[in-house]
C-alpha cells in the first residue's frame, strides 16, 4: 500500500512545484515580450498610452507561443533539479519507483501544454494577431500622418506618395465635406507622387504645392477594400516619365483609389480551417486577387484588340458606345501596336501612322428620335485601353473595359451644317467596344484564368500576357508554400513544448550535482537552436518549397534525441 501511495505523493509534489514555476516564468516572459512588441508602436505615435496597454493585453496569447516552450523548459529544469539535489529522487528509486514514473508529471504536463498551444496556434492566436494589427493600421490618419512626419513615403493603391508635411483636418467641422461622406481628410504640403501601372512601370509623375487626400467608406460589396481615396492637387503638374504633360494648372483630381484591407493579405491571421480552405480559394488573398484582375484585364485588352481588328478587316469600321448614349464609329482598315500599349488606326493595312486620314463618326441621340451625326477626319488616330494609359477609372472600374481614342490634326465636319473648325488634338474617353469580355473573365478564379490564358497559344501564354500569367502563377505558388510553412510551423511550435520539458527534466535529473544555472543553460541553447530551425525552416519553405520542411522539424528531432541520450545515461546510474 505504501509503494502504491509513493508515486502519487511524489507526483503531487512535482506537479505543484512544476506548475508554480511554469506559471510564474510564463507570466514574466509574456509580460516582457508583450511590452517589447507594444513599445515600438507607442514610440512611433501609432498608439496612445491606453491603446498601448490594450495592445499588450491582446499580445498575451500570441506571445505565449514563444514564451511557453522556454518557460516550460525552465520550470521543468528547476523543479527536477531541486528534486534531485534534495535526494528525493534517491528515496524514490529506493522505494522502487522507476525513472519513467518519476518523469510522468513532466510528460503529462508537456502533453497538456502541447495540446493547449496547438489550439492557441490554430484558433486563438490568429484572431488576436488580427486584432493587434487592426489597432495599429485601422486608424489611417495616425498611420499616414506618422509615416509622413518621419519622412517616409506612403502607398495608396498604385501611388507612392511623399510630402514635406501633413495636417489632418476633422471632416465633421466642414459641412460640405461631412455631407459628402468623407471619413478622413488630410492636407499635404509640397506633394510628390509616382503612379505605377499594372506592369510596375512609372506611368505618371505628380507634383503639387498643396494636395488634399479624402477617404470615403469602403464599398459594402468589396470586403477587401478598407477605404476609397481621392486626391486633389493644387498648383502643380502631372506628367509622363517622358515629360509629356497630362495636366498643368491650378487644380485637378486623381482617383478613386482603393485602399486595400491589409488583414486579408497575410495567412498568419487565418485559423486552421481558413488556411485549409485558402488552398482551394486563393483569390481570397488580396495580393492574389489583384493579380487575377490584372491578368483578366489584359486578356480582355487582347480580346478587344482582336475583335476590333476583325471588324476593321471585315467591314472597314468598328463601333463603340460613348458616354451619354452616343455611338462612335471608327473607319479604318487596320490596327498596329506601337509597343507602348497604343494601337494606331490605319486607313490602309500597309500604311504608316499619319499617311492618310482616319474618319470618325459620332452619332448623338436627339430628343425627337433623330440622331445628329458629326464626322471628323484625323491624320493620326491612337486607341488604347484607359487602364494602360494611366487614367484611373471610376468606382465601378471592373464592370467593363474602357478605351481612349486620341485624334491628332483633326478637321471637323457636320455635313450640311458646314465646318465646325479644326483641332490640333481631340480625345474621347470612356469608349466601350461591343461584346466587352472583361466581366466574363473577372468571374473566373485564378487557376481557371491561367489555364485559359495558356490554352490560347497551345500551352504557353502569348508574349503580351506572359508577364501577367507568370506573375500570378508565382504568387499562387508562394501562397501555397506559405500555407504549408505556417501549418508546419504551428505544429512544430506545439511539439517543442513537449520536447523541451522532457529534455529539461531528464538533464536536470542527470546533472543533479551541478548548479541549477549551468543545468538550465545545457538545455536552453539546444532549445534556442530548435526554435531557430523552426523559424528558419518556415521561411525556407515559404521561399523555396516543401523540400525544406525537414529543417522545421530538425531542431525538434535533435532535442528529442538529446533527451533520449540523457535518459539512457540516467538509467545506467
> Does residue 415 have a pLDDT over 70?
no
Average pLDDT score over residue span 545-557:
93
Average pLDDT score over residue span 481-500:
93
> Does residue 138 have a pLDDT over 70?
no
**Residue-averaged pLDDT of the chain:** 82
Backbone φ and ψ of 375, nearest 5°: -120, 135
> Does residue 5 have a pLDDT over 60?
no
pLDDT of residue 395: 34
pLDDT of residue 477: 93
pLDDT of residue 397: 41
Assign 511 a pLDDT band (cuts: 50, 70, 90).
Answer: confident
Q: With the CA atoms of 550, 552, 553 and 555 taken in that order, what torsion angle do they form, in degrees rounded to the nearest 10?
A: 120
Average pLDDT score over residue span 315-322:
87
Q: Which three cell numbers stand for residue 216?
A: 470615403
Q: Which residue has the higher pLDDT, 86 or 498?
A: 498
Tens digits of per-residue pLDDT, 272-317? 888 889 988 998 887 888 889 889 988 988 888 888 888 888 888 8
How many whole angstroms separate alpha carbon 454 and alpha carbon 458?
A: 6
Rounded-to-5 percentages of helix, strand, coil across the chain = 55, 25, 20
> Does residue 263 have a pLDDT over 60?
no
* Spatial strand order in the sheet of 245-260: 154-156, 159-169, 184-196, 202-217, 225-239, 245-260
Q: Where are the domains of the chain?
A: 144-265, 298-439
Lowest mean pLDDT among 21-30, 298-307, 371-380, 544-553: 371-380
pLDDT of residue 496: 92
Q: What is the DSSP letter of 561?
A: H
Average pLDDT score over residue span 161-182:
81
pLDDT of residue 142: 67
Query: Do residues 560 and 499 lie in contact, with contact meaning Cβ atoms separated by under 8 Å?
Result: yes
Tens digits of per-residue pLDDT, 54-91? 889 998 999 999 899 999 999 999 888 888 777 777 77
Q: Which residue has the higher pLDDT, 57 or 229?
A: 57
Average pLDDT score over residue span 332-348:
80
Average pLDDT score over residue span 254-265:
65
pLDDT of residue 3: 41
Specify the DSSP element, H or E, that contains 129.
Answer: helix 125-137
Q: Which range among 91-100, 132-141, 443-452 has the greatest average pLDDT?
A: 443-452
Average pLDDT score over residue span 548-557:
94
Average pLDDT score over residue span 223-237:
77
Assign 488 a pLDDT band (cuts: 50, 70, 90).
Answer: very high
pLDDT of residue 533: 94
Q: What sign has the CA pseudo-torsion 560, 565, 566, 567?
A: positive
Assign 241 a pLDDT band (cuts: 50, 70, 90).
Answer: confident
Instruction: Enumerate residues 6+ apart whose C-beta is below 8 A from 280.
Output: none
Q: What is the DSSP letter of 559?
A: H
Q: What are the CA-CA distances from residue 123 to residues 127, 129, 140, 247, 317 (Å)?
A: 7, 11, 28, 52, 60
Share of the chain above pLDDT 90, in %: 20
Lowest mean pLDDT among 141-145, 175-179, 524-528, 556-560: 141-145
Q: Which of 289, 311, 320, 340 is nearest to 400 (CA)?
A: 320
Amino acid at each position: 500500500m505504501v509503494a502504491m501511495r509513493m508515486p502519487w505523493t511524489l507526483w503531487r509534489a512535482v506537479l505543484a512545484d512544476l506548475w508554480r514555476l511554469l506559471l510564474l516564468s510564463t507570466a514574466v516572459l509574456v509580460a516582457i515580450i508583450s511590452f517589447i512588441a507594444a513599445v515600438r508602436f507607442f514610440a512611433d505615435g501609432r498608439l496612445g498610452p491606453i491603446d498601448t496597454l490594450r495592445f499588450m493585453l491582446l499580445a498575451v496569447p500570441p506571445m505565449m507561443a514563444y514564451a511557453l516552450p522556454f518557460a516550460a523548459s525552465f520550470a521543468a529544469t528547476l523543479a527536477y533539479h531541486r528534486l534531485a539535489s534534495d535526494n528525493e529522487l534517491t528515496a524514490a528509486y529506493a522505494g522502487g519507483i522507476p525513472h519513467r514514473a518519476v518523469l510522468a508529471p513532466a510528460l503529462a504536463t508537456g502533453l497538456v501544454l502541447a495540446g493547449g498551444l496547438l489550439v492557441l496556434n490554430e484558433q486563438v492566436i490568429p484572431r488576436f494577431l488580427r486584432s493587434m494589427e487592426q489597432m495599429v493600421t485601422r486608424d489611417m490618419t495616425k498611420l499616414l500622418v506618422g509615416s509622413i512626419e518621419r519622412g517616409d513615403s506612403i502607398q495608396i493603391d498604385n501611388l507612392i506618395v511623399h510630402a514635406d508635411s501633413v495636417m489632418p483636418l476633422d471632416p465633421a467641422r466642414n459641412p460640405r465635406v461631412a455631407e459628402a461622406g468623407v471619413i478622413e481628410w488630410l492636407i499635404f504640403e509640397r506633394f510628390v507622387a509616382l503612379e505605377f501601372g499594372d506592369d510596375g512601370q512609372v506611368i505618371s509623375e505628380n507634383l503639387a504645392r498643396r494636395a488634399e487626400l479624402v477617404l470615403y467608406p469602403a464599398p459594402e460589396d468589396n470586403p477587401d477594400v478598407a477605404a476609397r481615396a481621392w486626391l486633389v492637387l493644387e498648383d502643380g503638374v502631372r506628367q509622363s516619365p517622358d515629360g509629356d504633360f497630362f495636366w498643368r494648372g491650378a487644380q485637378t483630381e486623381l482617383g478613386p483609389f482603393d485602399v486595400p484591407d491589409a488583414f486579408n493579405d497575410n495567412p498568419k491571421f487565418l485559423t486552421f480551417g481558413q488556411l485549409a480552405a485558402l488552398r482551394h480559394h486563393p483569390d481570397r488573398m488580396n495580393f492574389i486577387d489583384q493579380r487575377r484582375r490584372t491578368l483578366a484585364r489584359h486578356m480582355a485588352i487582347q480580346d478587344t484588340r482582336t475583335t476590333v481588328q476583325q471588324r476593321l478587316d471585315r467591314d472597314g469600321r468598328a463601333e463603340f458606345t460613348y458616354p451619354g448614349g452616343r455611338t462612335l464609329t471608327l473607319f479604318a482598315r487596320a490596327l498596329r501596336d506601337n509597343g507602348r500599349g497604343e494601337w494606331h488606326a490605319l486607313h490602309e493595312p500597309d500604311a504608316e501612322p499619319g499617311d492618310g486620314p482616319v474618319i470618325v463618326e459620332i452619332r448623338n441621340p436627339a430628343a425627337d428620335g433623330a440622331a445628329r451625326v458629326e464626322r471628323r477626319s484625323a491624320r493620326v488616330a491612337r486607341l488604347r485601353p484607359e487602364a494602360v494609359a494611366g487614367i484611373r477609372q471610376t468606382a465601378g472600374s471592373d464592370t467593363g473595359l474602357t478605351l481612349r481614342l486620341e485624334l491628332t490634326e483633326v478637321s471637323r465636319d457636320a455635313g450640311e451644317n458646314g465646318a465646325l473648325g479644326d483641332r490640333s488634338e481631340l480625345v474621347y474617353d470612356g469608349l466601350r467596344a461591343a461584346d466587352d469580355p472583361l466581366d466574363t473573365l473577372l468571374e473566373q478564379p485564378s487557376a481557371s484564368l491561367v489555364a485559359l490564358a495558356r490554352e490560347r497559344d497551345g500551352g504557353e501564354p502569348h508574349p503580351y500576357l506572359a508577364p501577367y500569367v507568370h506573375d500570378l502563377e508565382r504568387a499562387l505558388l508562394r501562397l501555397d508554400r506559405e500555407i504549408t510553412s505556417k501549418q508546419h510551423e504551428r505544429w512544430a511550435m506545439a511539439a517543442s513544448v513537449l520536447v523541451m520539458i522532457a529534455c529539461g527534466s531528464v538533464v536536470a535529473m542527470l546533472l543533479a550535482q551541478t548548479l541549477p544555472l549551468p543545468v538550465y543553460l545545457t538545455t536552453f541553447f539546444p532549445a534556442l537552436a530548435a526554435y531557430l530551425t523552426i523559424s528558419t525552416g518556415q521561411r525556407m519553405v515559404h521561399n523555396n518549397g516543401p523540400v525544406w520542411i525537414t529543417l522545421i522539424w530538425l531542431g525538434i528531432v535533435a532535442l528529442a534525441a538529446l533527451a533520449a541520450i540523457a535518459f539512457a545515461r540516467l538509467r545506467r546510474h
